[in-house]
């Protein structure tokens, strides 16, 4: 932690009489003690700059040598790792933090000194809760021991077996999507009014678990979402609204089946028993009351079919006379209570990560194929011993760029949300930036993009998340191409591959799908001649290029 230099101001005083000189000398002499400097006013400092605390336990951090009227603001970098349970802002300021889950974060104290804002930082390390030390085997005299044995002979003993500790399950997000406004495209909106209709949405979980809970988002809505009933069940087969009613379960929030998602908010449902295996499809059926009719929070690129019917049919075996879209509405993620050691990887990017083309009828493709590169990646993780408990969270948004806000939020502004609001994230893959390079007239964009990549990498490391860089894919045959666009792509990729970037590894999608003869282009068989950006026939090739050892 770097400390800002602070100087000590001394006022020059003229001593006019011997009496004053003597008094000053005696005062200085009397105040000087070993290890200190007389009259040296110390600047404010934290009582601790590094704190280790176990989950569920508390630690106190205070500020020394600060004026009583100075107001201090306390803030944690990652509230999922630790939380502030008590604090005092003036007088003798302090903060009591409590460990939430294993990881690292920072505690920041801000205060005003003159016209400047000063900062003090404490590094917080949260350790896994201490396990009770099992009682050691106790020597017990044998019941058959003879009382006439010589006193110096050791008695026979019986060893008491020590029970083996059962690994503690942990909550890990198994599926997630990047929230945006569905209004951007009309065919992404519900095809009939949401109010008094049932919407059946399908997700594919990527790991195995015994309990499930959901995060529901209304962050863009101008009014509350009323949910009259929400049920989940396993889908019988893809591209069909039929469910296995034997698996039907009710989703509640704070114990209630009827609840609201407040406008501008995200809520987390109660955990419910729902055993599910990796790569199974789960149908979430919701009967809506009042809802927003604009600024509907969801995701336009589900690449999976969502079914909608009138009335309350949350537990119906199947639907008839239904409308359908390929969007998700109000779903942010699903987490499973999973085996100890389970982790999640966030795939952050644009339409290439979002799976553009995998459901395009003009390419002869259909929804529900689960052929995004993230889908193939999840299958590989599941099939590989050592990574079978690693889940995949797809945080790609079509047409999104790092700097531009279309369709809803700029990539730089949604990164923290899409990375940190999930459970158990240990890894992040960043494949992002091609939409920022559209027909560039100069290379200025490089200097704008580089700091944003650096911030993303820094955020990952601050939150104990390994980050893997994926260099931007070639797009030489697309309408985006210009010589300056290619120059910036090369500059970014060279920087990302260098040690200067600070990434924990490279996932080389670029060379996996590039044309060896013309590396500025995608290999023709992976894309459409009128596209040149999306390798929709090469998503499996991309997934196969990932070294699974990075996730073990």
pLDDT tens digits along 279-298: 999 999 999 999 999 999 99
Per-residue pLDDT at 6: 41
Residue 108 has pLDDT above 80, yes or no: yes
67 versus 466: the higher-pLDDT residue is 466
Nearest to 512 by CA among 487, 537, 491, 542: 542
Per-residue pLDDT at 164: 56
Query: In this predicted model, what pLDDT tens digit does every residue of 427-454 receive, in sequence order?
Result: 999 999 999 999 999 999 999 999 999 9
Nearest to 251 by CA among 225, 215, 280: 215
When pLDDT is cut at 50, 70 and 90, the band that residue 80 belongs to is confident
**What pairing do the DSSP bridges indicate for beta strands 170-176 and 331-338?**
antiparallel
Which residue matches tokens 């966030």?
346
Per-residue pLDDT at 163: 57
What topology does CATH give the domain 342-552? Rossmann fold (3.40.50)
d(CA 521, CA 18): 88
Segments in 86-164 forming alpha helices (H): none
Distances (CA, A) of 534 to 56, 435, 524, 543: 47, 12, 11, 14
21 versus 89: the higher-pLDDT residue is 89
Would you give the distance in Å from CA 126 to the centre of its chain?
17
Per-residue pLDDT at 128: 78
Query: Is residue 381 a contact partner of residue 548, using CB atoms and an 8 Å limit?
Result: yes
When pLDDT is cut at 50, 70 and 90, the band that residue 517 belongs to is very high
Task: Report the interhelical angle of 411-420 vs 445-462 (nearest 10°).
Answer: 10
Take residue 214 and report the two structure tokens written for it. Answer: 């959901």
**Range of lowest pLDDT (159-173, 267-281, 312-326, 449-463):** 159-173
Sequence-ordered list of residues with C-beta below 8 angstroms from that of 136, at least 6 positions apart, any chain = none
When pLDDT is cut at 50, 70 and 90, the band that residue 35 belongs to is very low
Distances (CA, A) of 466 to 20, 48, 344, 450: 65, 27, 11, 19
d(CA 173, CA 334): 6
Three-state SS for 61? strand
Per-residue pLDDT at 370: 98
Nearest to 321 by CA among 227, 491, 192: 192
Distances (CA, A) of 101 to 79, 94, 154, 173, 389: 10, 22, 48, 15, 18
Take residue 213 and report the two structure tokens written for it. Answer: 């809970």
Sequence-ordered list of residues with C-beta below 8 angstroms from that of 415, at least 6 positions apart, any chain = 348, 455, 456, 459
Strand partners, 505: 468
Per-residue pLDDT at 28: 45
d(CA 218, CA 329): 9
Statement: 45-127 belongs to CATH 1.10.150.530? no
Query: Is residue 470 a contact partner of residue 507, using CB atoms and an 8 Å limit?
Result: yes
Sequence-ordered list of residues with C-beta below 8 angstroms from that of 291, at least 6 positions apart, any chain = 194, 195, 221, 223, 225, 226
Three-state SS for 521? coil
Would you give the distance in Å from CA 449 to the centre of its chain?
22
Would you give the distance in Å from CA 99 to the centre of its chain?
18
d(CA 537, CA 514): 13
Nearest to 183 by CA among 172, 175, 174, 194: 194
**What pairing do the DSSP bridges indicate for beta strands 466-469 and 425-431?**
parallel
Determine the average pLDDT of the residues in 464-487: 99
> Could you give the percent of the chain with pLDDT greater than 90?
70
Would you give the distance in Å from CA 62 to the centre of its chain?
30
d(CA 141, CA 156): 6
Query: Is residue 197 a contact partner of residue 309, using CB atoms and an 8 Å limit?
Result: yes
Dihedral angle over CA of 338, 344, 350, 355, nearest 10: -50
Three-state SS for 12? coil
Residue 30 has pLDDT above 80, yes or no: no
Take residue 225 and report the two structure tokens written for it. Answer: 């979402």
Distances (CA, A) of 348 to 431, 463, 523, 543: 6, 16, 23, 14
Distances (CA, A) of 167 to 203, 342, 386, 389: 28, 11, 16, 14
What helix, strand, coil percent values describe the chain, rounded to 5? 20, 30, 50
Q: What is the DSSP letter of 538?
A: S
Distances (CA, A) of 163 to 168, 270, 307, 486: 15, 32, 50, 62
Query: In this predicted model, what pLDDT tens digit does every residue of 132-158 receive, in sequence order?
Result: 434 333 333 333 333 334 334 444 444
Three-state SS for 318? coil
Burial of residue 284 (number of CB atoms within 10 Å: 0-12, 13-18, 19+) = buried
Give domain limits for the chain.
45-127, 174-336, 342-552
Query: In this predicted model, what pLDDT tens digit does every residue of 337-362 receive, in sequence order?
Result: 999 999 999 999 999 999 999 999 99
Q: Do domains 45-127 and 342-552 have the same CATH topology?
A: no
């Amino acid at each position: 932690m770097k400390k800002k230099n602070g100087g000590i101001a001394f006022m020059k005083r003229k001593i006019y009489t011997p009496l004053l000189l003597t008094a000053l000398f005696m005062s200085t002499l009397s105040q000087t003690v070993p290890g200190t400097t007389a009259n040296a006013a110390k600047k404010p400092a934290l009582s601790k700059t590094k704190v280790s605390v176990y989950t569920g336990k508390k630690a106190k951090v205070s500020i020394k040598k600060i004026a009583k009227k100075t107001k201090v603001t306390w803030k944690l970098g990652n509230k999922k790792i630790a939380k502030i349970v008590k604090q005092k802002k003036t007088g003798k300021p302090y903060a009591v933090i409590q460990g939430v889950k294993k990881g690292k974060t920072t505690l920041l104290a801000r205060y005003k000194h003159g016209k400047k804002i000063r900062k003090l930082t404490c590094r917080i390390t949260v350790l896994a809760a201490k396990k009770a030390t099992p009682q050691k085997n106790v020597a017990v005299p044998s019941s058959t021991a003879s009382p006439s044995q010589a006193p110096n002979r050791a008695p026979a003993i019986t060893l008491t077996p020590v029970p083996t500790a059962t690994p503690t399950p942990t909550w890990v997000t198994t599926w997630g999507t990047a929230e945006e406004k569905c209004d951007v495209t009309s065919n992404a909106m519900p095809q009939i009014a949401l109010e008094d209709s049932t919407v059946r949405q399908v997700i594919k979980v990527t790991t195995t678990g015994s309990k499930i809970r959901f995060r529901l988002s209304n962050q863009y809505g101008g009014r509350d979402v009323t949910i009259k009933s929400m049920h989940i069940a396993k889908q019988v087969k893809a591209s069909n609204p039929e469910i296995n009613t034997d698996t039907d379960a009710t989703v509640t929030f704070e114990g209630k089946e009827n609840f609201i998602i407040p406008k501008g908010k995200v809520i987390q449902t109660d955990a419910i028993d729902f055993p599910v295996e990796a790569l199974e499809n789960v149908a979430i059926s919701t009967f809506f009351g009042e809802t927003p009719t604009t600024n509907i929070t969801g995701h336009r690129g589900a690449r999976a079919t969502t079914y909608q019917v009138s009335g309350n049919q949350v537990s119906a075996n199947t639907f008839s006379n239904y409308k359908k879209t390929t969007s998700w509405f109000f779903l942010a993620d699903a987490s499973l209570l999973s085996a100890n050691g389970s982790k999640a990887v966030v795939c952050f990017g644009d339409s290439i990560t979002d799976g553009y083309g995998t459901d395009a009828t003009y390419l002869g493709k259909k929804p529900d194929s689960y052929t995004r590169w993230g889908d193939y990646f999840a299958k590989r993780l599941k099939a590989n011993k050592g990574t079978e408990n690693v889940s995949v969270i797809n945080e790609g948004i079509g047409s999104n760029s790092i700097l531009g806000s279309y369709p809803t939020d700029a990539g730089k502004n949604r990164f923290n949300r899409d990375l940190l609001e999930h459970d158990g994230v240990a890894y992040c893959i960043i494949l992002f930036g091609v939409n920022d390079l559209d027909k560039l007239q100069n290379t200025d964009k490089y200097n704008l993009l580089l700091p944003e990549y650096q911030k993303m990498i820094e955020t990952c490391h601050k939150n104990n998340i390994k980050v893997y860089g994926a260099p931007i894919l070639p797009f030489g045959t697309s309408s985006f191409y210009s010589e300056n666009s290619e120059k910036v792509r090369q500059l970014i990729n060279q920087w990302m591959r260098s040690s200067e970037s600070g990434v924990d590894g490279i996932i080389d999608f670029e060379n996996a799908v590039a044309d060896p003869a013309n590396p500025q282009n995608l290999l023709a068989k992976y894309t459409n001649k009128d596209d040149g950006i999306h390798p929709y026939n090469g998503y499996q090739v991309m997934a196969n290029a990932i070294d699974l050892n990075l996730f073990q």
